[in-house]
Amino acid sequence: MTDTDCIFCKIVAGDIPSTKVLETERVLAFRDLHPKAPTHVLVIPKDHYANAAELTAADPQLAAAVLAGATAVAESEGIAETGWNLLANTGAEAGQTIFHVHFHVLGGKSFEPLLA
Ligand code: 5GP
Ligand code: ZN
């Protein structure tokens, strides 16, 4: 499942370069182009779903694989013990700008004030 106009589908296809940190048969993780923390990695399913809700409804096993990928990235980035944030902006009003579901893995910086 691919959307020809989608930047992240193009990254999956290799048409746009990215710095990959993890790849499995169905999941890809790569560094954010504009990192907001020392570790800022995006974890996506290779199949195109617009957001976390659509992914979870359509393919819960794949949703679980993406979350497992995020955990593996936290471990390989060395932030599993110190703490990390997992964020999926869902919908334009929430700040989603790319409508291929992605989970931000953020670490090395405290975002506590966000939720204070
Ligand atoms: P959103 O605002 O949709 O939750 O997050 C989209 C993220 O994708 C942003 O943090 C942005 O920096 C990142 N991004 C946008 N275009 C590219 C790109 O071409 N390559 C990479 N690696 N990240 C991108
Ligand atoms: Zn896509």
Q: Within a domain: residue 14?
A: yes
Q: What CATH number did the domain enclosing 103 receive?
A: 3.30.428.10
110 — pLDDT class (breaks 50, 70, 90):
confident
C-beta of residue 73 within 8 angstroms of C-beta of residue 105: yes
Tokens (6 digits) for 27: 């999941």
pLDDT digits (tens, 9 = 90+) for 2-23: 888 999 999 999 999 999 999 9
Q: How far is the CA of 104 from the centre of ligand 1 (A)?
A: 9
Domain total of the chain: 1
Which pLDDT value is given to residue 90? 95
Q: Within a domain: residue 31?
A: yes
Q: Within a domain: residue 2?
A: no
- For residue 10, give every residue at least 6 positions away whose Cβ sits within 8 Å of its Cβ, in sequence order, or none: 16
Measured from the CB, is residue 98 less than 6 Å from ligand 1?
yes
pTM of the model: 0.96
Q: Within a domain: residue 23?
A: yes
Alpha helices in the chain (DSSP H): 7-13, 52-58, 60-76
